[in-house]
Amino acid sequence: MANSKRRHWALVGAAVTAVVVGAGIATAVSGGDPGGPTAFGHSPAATSGTTSPAGAPTAPAGSTGSTSNGSAPGITAPSTSAAKNAQLADMKWGLDYSDTLAYDTPDQVKTALDDAKRLGMDYIRVDFGWEDHQNFANFPPDFSKFDKVVAGANAHGLKILATIDFPPPWARRDACKDTAACPPADNALFAKFVKQAVARYSARGVHYWEVWNEPNIVAWAPLPDPADYTKLLVTVSAAIRSADPHAYILMGGLAADHPSPGAPFIAPYDFITAVANAGGLKAVDAIGYHPYPDGDPATSKTFLAISKSPKSIIAALNQAGAPNMPIWITETGANIPALIWGPPEQVKPQETAQVQQAKREVEVLSSYPNVVSFFWFSYQDDPPAHLVFGLRRGDGTYRPSFDALKQIIADAKKAR
């Protein structure tokens, strides 16, 4: 249905790496478009001292985090049943569209956002690529494509989480000019573009920004580099806040695992620790994380890495003095691998299992401390890119997971 210019990297790799669980469903460890751009998501953190937009979770800096279970340093017990129910009731729900909406027709945008509203979503997550708006250095940005998305979101009462990414070729570093994962050659020039955009869209209700996507893998070209990323994060965050003091800024959603065997990867604990040591956590309001499960979410190492392992995200935040910083799940989901590798008769069983996987992911994530959002990747399949996680199939028809997720969200919101 969507006519996207670029493909989303759920995690970078030549193909989706999957683990078959349950009734034959595969949950993504990686997937993507090598040499293509990444998609980003944003979350706010409670340590910046800024005023957050309405509905943004906040917590005083330095306040006590979750309760330790005493089993090992840095391991945090899951929430109690009552706390879990309260956390689920307050969950922020979102749907990932990657870079599709900016290139859709008005009718396609309306249909896509009608679906988000029917699902009960609070947010849409979309790429905000510099190259989409300023292809030539000597011309001012043209924001008309994104104006359409913002207008549509506002008409549907949906908040936008915009992932800032994709420098145009003329603004990339020489070492990686051929990939949109390439960081800008000049962070200050990138920040100037971002400031223009934030000034324009804060007046139209856009306050949530995520700086880059999965910078802990090769979505930061040519290799992940937390110190280098921190320089961009601090510069861009300052530009955002100067244009919108109420902005809510997320550190770019971190990949939970290697995108493919042997591929570059810095574990979230190590990446967050390095960014914190370089002063980067002070620039954001939240951490973004993409825990596609490697099996049952209850035992998946990508989920356990939130708080139930010695080198967890919570452990890194505790050590950085930000124990209550929110964790936004800006991507998770479950794919249909039979569409890629076959056999065809497994497609329907995997689609049925996708429903159960969605329920389990929500159930398990709502038991973890600091988790405040659940964004499903993705709205619709992109079969040529091997991205088959959609609530809609490539032909636009609905999967059973659409109605299942709609019911999950409705049930969660009943307690509000």
**Three-state DSSP class for 204?**
coil
| Structure tokens, 299 | 């035992």
- Angle subtended by helix axes 81-89 and 400-413, to nearest 10: 110
Lowest mean pLDDT among 48-57, 195-204, 211-220, 314-323: 48-57
What's the pLDDT at 89?
83
Q: Which range, of 56-65, 266-275, 368-377, averages the lowest pLDDT?
A: 56-65
Percent of the chain at pLDDT above 90? 77
Beta-carbon contacts of 364 under 8 Å, excluding residues fewer than 6 positions away, are: 297, 298, 303
- According to the model, what pLDDT value does residue 355 have? 98
pLDDT score for 78: 53
**Burial profile 160-198: b = 16 or more Cβ within 10 angstroms, e = fewer:** bbbbbbbbbeebbeeebeebbbbbbeebeebbebbbbbb
- pLDDT at position 122, please? 98
Spell out the domain ranges in the chain. 17-47+81-413
The pLDDT of residue 75: 58
pLDDT at 84: 67
Q: What is the pLDDT of residue 76?
A: 56
Contact 129, 6 (CB under 8 A): yes
158-183 pLDDT, tens digit each: 999 999 999 999 999 999 999 999 99
Average pLDDT over residues 67-87: 55
Instruction: Please tell me the least confidently modeled range out of 5-14, 182-191, 294-303, 351-360.
Output: 5-14
3-state secondary structure (DSSP) of residue 159: strand
Residue 239 has pLDDT above 50, yes or no: yes
Burial (0-12, 13-18, 19+ Cβ within 10 Å), 250: buried
Q: 88 falls in which pLDDT band (50, 70, 90)?
A: confident
Residue 286: pLDDT band with limits 50, 70, 90: very high
Q: Write phi, then psi, for 244 (nearest 5 degrees).
A: -150, 95
Q: What are phi and psi of 300, to 5 degrees?
A: -65, 135
7 vs 416, more confident: 416
pLDDT at site 45:
32
For residue 256, what pLDDT is reported? 97
> Which tens digits make up the pLDDT trace of 121-172?
999 999 999 999 999 999 999 999 999 999 999 999 999 999 999 999 999 9
The predicted pLDDT at position 33 comes to 31
For domain 17-47+81-413, the question of CATH label 3.40.640.10 is answered with: no
**Mean pLDDT across the stretch 92-103?**
96
296-333 confidence digits (pLDDT tens): 999 999 999 999 999 999 999 999 999 999 999 999 99
pLDDT digit string (tens) for 373-384?
999 999 999 999
Task: Kindly tell me if the per-residue pLDDT of 1 is higher than 90.
Answer: no
Asked whether the beta carbons of 389 and 378 are under 8 A apart, the reply is yes
Average pLDDT over residues 328-355: 97
Mean pLDDT of the 247-252 span: 98
